[in-house]
Chain A
Amino acid sequence: MKEFTPLPDKPAPNDVVGIIPWLRENLFPTPLNSLVTLAIIAFFATLIPPLFDWLFFSANWSGTTQDACTNKDGACWVFVIAWSKQFFYGSYPVEEIWRINTCLLALIAIIIASFKLHKDLRNKIAIPLFLLLPFLSIILLDGSLIGLEYVATDYWGGFTLNVMLAAASIIVAFPLSFLWALGRRSDMPFIRSVSVILIEFFRGVPVLALFFMGSVMLPLFFPEGTNVDKLLRVWIVLTLFMSGYMAEVFRGGFQAVPNGQYEAADSLGLGFWQKTLLIILPQVIKISMPNILATFVMLFKNTTFLLIIGIFEMLSTTQTALTNSNWLGGHSTEGYLFVAVVFWICCFSMSMISSSIERKLDTSHRN
């Protein structure tokens, strides 16, 4: 009998790998495409030098008042530098700012730890700490519970507030929305209708309307004489709004889990909650990861809407700074650009973290 031996692999030919073939293939394949490539290069060549000049080379970096901004052809970063404390910390007492920094460092440490630690340690220590952190931060910033000087929430503000509100609402919204999504799939008519009503209400009403309801209407439901903190009300509204969206994200994830997974779990004799938490939830999270992140980013950016109801988060602090009588030189470009860049950096980092989690969760082709 003849023996079968597979042919050996040959290296790929030279004209399909390397930089020159790549350029020819992607940038200059036809005359029209070459023309478009050249036009785009020309466009950037005229745009980028003046932009960089304004941003960096002619920009004014040093000084403490707007009079220091002598070069009118460059950005006045003095404005941003002078106000940076307010942008990040709001009107939090200067001598207590270490509390905010501690929370921030803790957050960074936990994120790094959860990537570096072994799986078991991560699940037992880093993740519970991560979930508790917003609430620990609130206790630390408030101070009254742990014997530090009490700082009323009226003084909380700036970017700290954006981050804290977003984090605290995400962490509560996550389990809440999962329950709503489960409820929407339930066979029990009462649970199903309650879930549908909640989801559709908080998804269907604009977030600004919800904020106004939170700050004006919600107090009417509390017993007379109780004064519920404004930030607490805003946090409740954000959480419910987020839950409405997330519930639908989870519902999509539920639908993508094959029926066989439920049947296999059933046939092993797992109970409802065991099946849901051990088999279905991990797969739903994995499937929904990109949409969960999109919702997080949306919520994080929506915290800037709070300027409408007079909460001093980063964007409203910027507006206050722009209308300050000492800084009426028209620095709005610098101010808003700074806010945009800070938010972009955060959202982009979240995006990187989420895609790294996606890779970790992907068990389909790991060899």
Chain B
Amino acid sequence: MSSDEALKKLYEIAEDIYEQLARGEIPKMQLAARHKGNIVFDNSLGVWKYGNSKITRSAKKLDGGYMILRTLYIMEFIKEMIKNNKSSTLREMYYISEGWGLAKFHSQDESNKLAEDLEVITGYMREDFKLRPEEDGASIIGNITIEEINRKGKPMRINCRDDVGDSGYLIPYNVEKDKLRFIDVDADFVIGIETGGMFDRLVENGFDEKARAILVHIKGQPARSTRRLLKRMNEELGLPVVIFTDGDPWSFRIFASIAYGAIKTAHISEYLATPTAEFVGITASDILNYDLPTDKLNDRDIAALEAELKDPRFNTPFWHEEIRLMLDIKKKAEQQALAKYGLDYVTETYLPEKLTELGVMR
């Protein structure tokens, strides 16, 4: 079981700390630097991963000392959970640390970050450590049948078109095979939608049936489980994935984290990223071609676009052209700006045009 292996890995870290101390050395831990400058494209996996740049957390500094001490406490905590067959949310871990004396976390950010650091150091995922995020509730509507193991341990079959209400099937935090299996699907592609308003519009217009699509509401920057599920549908069911967002720099980043891997979780990009995902807009060209209502870019938008020009993940002719164009016209647009031409325009005209162009719709 991967939890046992993860635990073994944590134990090795504790052992290493102990031995450094016993040798009279200042204890330290090494991990990959998690910033834009340290991600490289992995050709064999087709995703962006951390490069070779490492940072050292040493007990010579307060931060490093705390991190080492907390790691030891977390190790013990995880050992207990595995023994008792429990799991905890990241927030629960934050509260449990109240009893850890000096090692107590001072904010949940600290504990979330340490959970990520441990993933990076050990190469295991936080689920292996029996840690899970709070529910994020991204949802699916479309003709796909899923089998989920419910909390009583029984398999339960759900068709995401017929067995769900208007809000669709809620994606659980664990979407691995031992928890969730695909039984049957009758669709041509998966479309991830950034905003709830647009997701509802597509549902109301019956786009899932008309275009034989699986609609996934990705809810802004998507949670890990959403990204993981998109990837599984793409790989296991062979469905193309397209992403439909607002037309602004932040939405470009949503797409990048789905298709190329997020900077924060580049250590597990091969689990989460869908390299073949395509972007269906809104692009800067769409703003011009469809003459959409716009907002002016603010200073933060401009800075974000400029940072993207330096981000290796966006280093393609398509993205550079679109980013530069947006900087040029100094404008951004929401997906729902398409309503300018009527409520059906997005499902009757815009998406069919874009999807046909991509060869996803016939």
Whether A and B are associated in the same complex: the answer reads no
Residues of B participating in the A interface, judged by any CB pair closer than 8 Å: none
